Structure formats: C-alpha cells, structure tokens
C-alpha cells in the first residue's frame, strides 16, 4: 500500500486556557492519497482553516501528529519544517496574501528564490507559470493593480511554483464572483490532474465540493470521512 501524501492522526487543538479555553476539535484524523482532490466542508467556526494550518505545518496540534509523504512534522525542527513546506506544500489563502511591494512575477518567483534558484531562472519559470494561469500580460503588475480573480490566480501560481505534492487551499473562491470562482476552481483541478499532486480545498460552496473526488464534512468537535461525490452526513 502506498504512503498517503497527507496523514493526520488523532489531532486535538485548543486555543486559550482555563475557563476561556476553546477546543476546536478532538481526535481528528484524515488521510489524502496521491492525486486526490478533497473538499473539506462544514459550518463557520468548526476548525476548517485550523485543520489546514496543522496539515501544512503552519501551526502545531496539542496532540496527535501530521505526516507529509511519511515524514512526521513533529520530528522536524523549524528550519527542516520550513524546507519541507517549500519543497512539498503549496498554500492558497482566502485573501491571497501576495506581497504588495512585489510584482506578480516576483510573488510567483518567491518560493523559487527561497529555494536558492538563480534569479534569472526563477524569473523564467515565474513567467511560464503566469502564462499557465492566464496572467502572462500581468507579470509586471503589482497586487494593487490587479482584480480579485487575478490575485487569486497569481496566488495559485505561487503555490505551484515548486511543483508541490499537495496544495492546501483555504476558501480560495470565497471572495470571488461565480465566474472567477469557477475559473480558480478549474485551474486548481487542472493543475492537480496534470501534476498528479493532491489538493485539499476548504469551501462553503456545495456545488464546488460536489465536484471533488471526496468530501470530508467537519462539525465541532471533529471530522468524519465523507464519500466520493457527496456530503457524507446529512446533519452537517
């Protein structure tokens, strides 16, 4: 049996302490196989974004563990964890988080520069990626000069710059109109199919979720494995 690209076992996460403590979820487990496009759905506040941050190693669980390609995050120091994220993980945020002082090309090239790719090669590859996401004519534009849909496509470009094993996308269509939401979703789907990588998509859009390979419905305090093509539980 092949090793899952993402494996999380018995995750528990609590914010705060004492009477004010808020347990986000408890004993949460999820696996994502190579090439799967998985939707994570559930009501606001159930911990979907927290889950993605734990899976990507941006945050750490109180208990349980996360593995990427069989590598356990908790076994890595901060520098090693950052290296693994740069090499194997792409992340698309709801609010894109492009650096405002960098052009579209510079934002897309940033993961390559962090990986010590020479500047000329990084610029060349960033240009290819921007063409791939339909932004070849916007390479020199800054985020303030771009539309919401363009910003999210640039964010997807940045996420795929290192050809990651898995992309975590946290409500990437949440602030877009239907046309741009569809365009970003199809872009993620196309990239996933061409690369053979995996995508974990947090979404409130049931129509988009229904088009994913699997749906994992979340509700406080946990997650239950869904079934391909449909919501896994009627009470979510």
Angle at which helix 148-159 crosses helix 104-114, to 10 degrees, equals 20
85 Rama sector, left if φ>0, alpha if ψ -120 to 50, beta otherwise: alpha
User: How high is the pLDDT of residue 148?
Assistant: 87
User: What's the pTM value of the predicted model, to 2 decimals?
Assistant: 0.85
Q: Dihedral of CA 95/99/104/107: which sign?
A: negative
Q: What is the pLDDT of residues 141-152, one digit of tens each?
A: 999 999 988 998
Pairwise CA distance, residues 223 & 64, whole Å: 14
Pairwise CA distance, residues 57 & 61, whole Å: 9
- Architecture label for domain 6-223: 3-Layer(aba) Sandwich (3.40)
Q: What is the pLDDT of residues 20-55, one digit of tens each?
A: 888 888 889 999 999 999 999 988 888 899 999 999
Burial class (CB in 10 A: 0-12, 13-18, 19+), 93: middle
In the predicted model, residues of the chain with pLDDT beneath 50 are: 222-236
The domain segmentation of the chain, as residue ranges, is: 6-223
User: How high is the pLDDT of residue 225?
Assistant: 39
């Amino acid at each position: 049996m092949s090793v899952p690209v993402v494996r999380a076992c018995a995750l528990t996460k609590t914010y705060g302490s004492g009477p004010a403590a808020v347990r986000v979820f408890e004993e949460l487990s999820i696996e994502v196989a190579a090439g799967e496009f998985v939707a994570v759905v559930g009501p606001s506040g159930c911990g979907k974004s927290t889950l993605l941050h734990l899976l990507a190693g941006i945050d750490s669980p109180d208990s349980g563990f996360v593995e990427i390609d069989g590598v356990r995050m908790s076994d890595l120091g901060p520098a090693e964890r950052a290296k693994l994220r740069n090499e194997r993980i792409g992340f698309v945020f709801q609010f894109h988080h492009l650096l405002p002082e960098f052009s579209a090309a510079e934002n897309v090239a940033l993961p390559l520069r962090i990986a010590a790719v020479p500047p000329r090669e990084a610029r060349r590859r960033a240009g290819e990626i921007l063409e791939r996401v339909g932004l070849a004519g916007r390479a020199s534009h800054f985020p303030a000069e771009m539309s919401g849909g363009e910003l999210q496509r640039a964010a997807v470009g940045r996420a795929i710059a290192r050809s990651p094993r898995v992309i975590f996308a946290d409500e990437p269509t949440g602030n877009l109109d239907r046309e741009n939401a569809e365009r970003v979703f199809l872009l993620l789907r196309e990239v996933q199919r061409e690369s053979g990588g995996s995508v974990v998509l947090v979404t409130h859009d049931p129509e988009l979720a229904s088009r994913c390979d699997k749906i994992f419905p979340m509700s406080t305090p946990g997650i239950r494995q869904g079934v391909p093509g449909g919501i896994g539980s009627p009470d979510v």
